């Protein structure tokens, strides 16, 4: 799959000297209407959503990879000194992100790629992060294997995701509405058990919190490959193997 790279550097007179290279495959499908809707929604996020993004992104250091950069909403929260790389499969999201990139005064390396087939070498990132993305990934186990592959030993996967509700009513209800929800929501599956998938993939939580946020609960956390987990980890605010 072809990639798009956008690099921005400071000009000699203090202005932004932007050099953009674009090679995008528009035949990979995508969600034109949802990209427009998501662009509007993220531009009008409230304090809770902005705080959630900052919570995930602000601790990042070194060379980091974002899985599913969407329209570029998380770029505003990147710390200074971070070497940013992002992937996004949807050409309509990328088109909108490209326009937003013009206002970002930092280097960005963007690739059109799927989470299940990351175009990077093994052990090449100090952190991988995602925000509200794994609900749309088609093959979650394959994507998590790729995350493990590109993480350096001991490096962390940072995430904010929504998950399937618990209970005898809300859980089955989310299963029932998933086909329609997925159709109108850009491929989003409201009944994803992302916490379970992480554990099955061999991740161990360094920190974890499940938050009630109707209509769907949210999970925040940092995880490492279980064999590389530190001897002492931060308190787990809620262990949620069902979510």
153 pLDDT exceeds 60? yes
Say which CATH number the domain at 39 has. Answer: 3.40.50.150
**pLDDT tens digits, 192-205:** 999 999 999 999 99
Span 10-25, average pLDDT:
39
Is the Cβ–Cβ distance between 240 and 212 less than 8 Å? Answer: no
**Structural domain that includes position 173:** 5-228
Residue 181 counted as domain residue: yes
Residue 195 counted as domain residue: yes
Residue 38 counted as domain residue: yes
Residue 54 counted as domain residue: yes
Span 219-231, average pLDDT:
82
Please give the pLDDT value at position 102: 87
Distance (Å, whole) CA 173 – CA 167: 10
**pLDDT tens digits, 87-145:** 999 999 999 999 999 888 889 999 999 999 999 999 999 999 999 999 999 999 999 99
Query: Residue 167 CB: number of other CB atoms within 10 A?
Result: 10
Residue 107 counted as domain residue: yes
**pLDDT tens digits, 22-70:** 445 545 678 999 999 999 999 999 999 999 999 999 999 999 999 999 9
Span 178-193, average pLDDT:
94
Number of domains in the chain: 1
Q: Which of 129, 123, 97 is nearest to 110 (CA)?
A: 97
Residue 233 counted as domain residue: no
Span 213-238, average pLDDT:
73
Residue 188 counted as domain residue: yes
Residue 63 counted as domain residue: yes
Full-model pTM: 0.86
């Amino acid at each position: 799959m072809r990639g798009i790279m956008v690099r921005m550097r400071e000009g000699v007179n203090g202005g932004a000297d932007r050099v953009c290279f674009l090679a995008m495959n528009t035949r990979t499908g995508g969600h034109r209407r949802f990209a427009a809707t998501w662009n509007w929604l993220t531009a009008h996020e409230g304090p809770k959503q902005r705080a959630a993004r900052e919570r995930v992104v602000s601790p990042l250091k070194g060379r980091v990879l974002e899985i599913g950069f969407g329209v570029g909403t998380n770029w505003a929260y990147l710390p200074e000194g971070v070497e940013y790389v992002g992937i996004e499969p949807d050409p309509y999201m990328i088109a909108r992100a490209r326009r937003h990139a013009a206002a970002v005064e930092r280097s960005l390396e963007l690739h059109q790629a799927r989470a299940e087939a990351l175009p990077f070498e093994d052990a090449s990132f100090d952190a991988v992060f995602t925000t509200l993305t794994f609900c749309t990934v088609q093959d979650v186990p394959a994507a998590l294997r790729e995350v493990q592959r590109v993480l350096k030993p001991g490096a962390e996967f940072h995430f904010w995701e929504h998950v399937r509700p618990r209970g005898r009513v809300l859980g089955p209800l989310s299963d029932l509405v998933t086909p329609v929800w997925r159709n109108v929501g850009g491929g989003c599956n409201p009944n994803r058990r992302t916490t379970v998938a992480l554990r099955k993939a061999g991740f161990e939580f360094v920190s974890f919190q499940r938050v009630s946020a109707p209509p769907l609960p949210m999970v925040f956390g940092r995880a490492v490959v279980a064999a590389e987990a530190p001897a002492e980890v931060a308190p787990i605010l809620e262990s949620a193997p069902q979510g």
